[in-house]
Amino acid sequence: MHDKPEVNINWFPGHMAKAQRMIREHLKLVDVVIELLDARIPLSSANPVIHEIIDNKPRLVALNKADLAEPDRTTRWLAHFREQGLPVVALDSMTGKGSKALVSRVEQLAGDKIAALVAKGINPRAVRAMILGIPNVGKSSLINRLLGTATVRTADKPGVTRGKQWIKIGKNLELLDTPGVLWPKFEDPEVGFKLAVTGAINDEVYDREKVMAKLLAVLRENYSERLTVRYKLTPPLPEDSSALLALIGAKRGCLRSGGLIDDEKARRIILNEFRSGKLGQFTLDDIQ
């Protein structure tokens, strides 16, 4: 029997509701909406409320952190979005791969709007776009990459961006950065789990023990070879997540006085290596 406990997370900071109001207020100022998703969880990192808010505004889907996702599955996700009639690009905002394609697509999507202004005798202006996404999906890192300088405050934790700001990207693009928007409630425990392990949710607001037990079960079931190689384990791996955690903890020297395994230290190591790509590339969402 596989150890896969349900992970229930309920999280609604007040600034989320404020962010949604801000988006509605400023939507009329922009020509294009860039919806930034995590390529590892394209479904779980999407917010259905965004679709209602932006209505008929041109939208570009950007799959960020593609360097951390499984390439063949990212290819399938790109095809899936195109089949839905949505323009889409894959990005690695840390290295800049895909950022030029993103700017080009945004300018294309705003072409009709700018042409209409010119037809009315108004001088051409820069395309105005809004970047939307859940916390920690990489909005600030993307803007920094587009600017070529670290002028927008970033951190590898949710909720760092506050308020709004216009950012000029070259001559032809202006970005309105907004705080991330997330569901007020996680109705699907699977979604909550995926958001937790990829870092979209602050590590203090969920049960790390349950989340890591589930992650270890998923890794053992689907990526056992990666665990074996990374932590120098001898197969077969134990089916019980607690036993597997203890095994990895022992290999990594996570010991307390008396020779006991420091479970929490072992959990932090595994989670950090999962998020950073040291355990390989992962895509947790399947196309439905």
- Residue 138 labeled ligand binder: yes
Region class of 281: left (phi > 0), else alpha (psi between -120 and 50), else beta: beta
What HEC string does 129-195 produce? EEEECCCCCCHHHHHHHHHCCCCCCCCCCCCCCCCCEEEEECCCEEEEECCCCCCCCCCCHHHHHHH
The answer to the question of residue 74 being in a domain is: yes
Confidence band, pLDDT 50/70/90 cuts, at residue 243: very high
Number of residues written out for the chain? 288
Query: Is 150 in the same domain as 225?
Result: no
Residues 103 and 244 in one domain: no
pTM of the model: 0.87
Query: What CATH number does the domain containing 103 carry?
Result: 3.40.50.300
Instruction: Kindly report, residue by residue over 108-153, the tens digit of the pLDDT.
Output: 999 888 888 888 888 878 899 988 888 888 888 888 888 875 455 4
Across the chain, mean pLDDT equals 86
- Looking at the fold, whether 115 and 248 belong to one and the same domain comes out as no
Q: Is 65 annotated as a binding residue?
A: yes
Instruction: Please indicate, yes or no, whether residues 67 and 141 belong to a single structural domain of this protein.
Output: yes
Ligand-binding annotation for 139, yes or no, is: yes
Q: Which residues are paired to 168 by β-bridges?
A: 174
User: Residue 64's pLDDT is what?
Assistant: 96
192 in a labelled binding site: no
Tokens in use for 79? 């095809």
The Cα 78–Cα 86 span in angstroms is 9
Token digits of residue 90: 């894959």
Say whether 180 counts as a known binding-site residue: yes
Residue 159 labeled ligand binder = no
Q: Other CB atoms closer than 10 Å to residue 217's CB: what's the count?
A: 18
Q: How confident is the model at residue 6 (pLDDT cuts 50, 70, 90)?
A: low
Q: Do the annotations mark residue 100 as ligand-binding?
A: no
The pLDDT score that the predictor gives to residue 52 is 79
> Which has the minimum average pLDDT: 32-46, 145-159, 194-208, 253-267?
145-159
Range of the domain at 38: 14-177
Residue 242 annotated as part of some ligand binding site: no
Q: Which of 44, 19, 23 is nearest to 33 (CA)?
A: 23
* Residues 156, 67 share a domain: yes
Q: Are residues 25 and 113 in the same domain?
A: yes
- pLDDT, position 136: 83
- 77 or 53, which is more confident: 77
In a domain, 1, yes or no: no
Asked whether 36 and 90 are in contact (CB, 8 A), the reply is no
Check whether 136 is labelled as a binding-site residue: yes
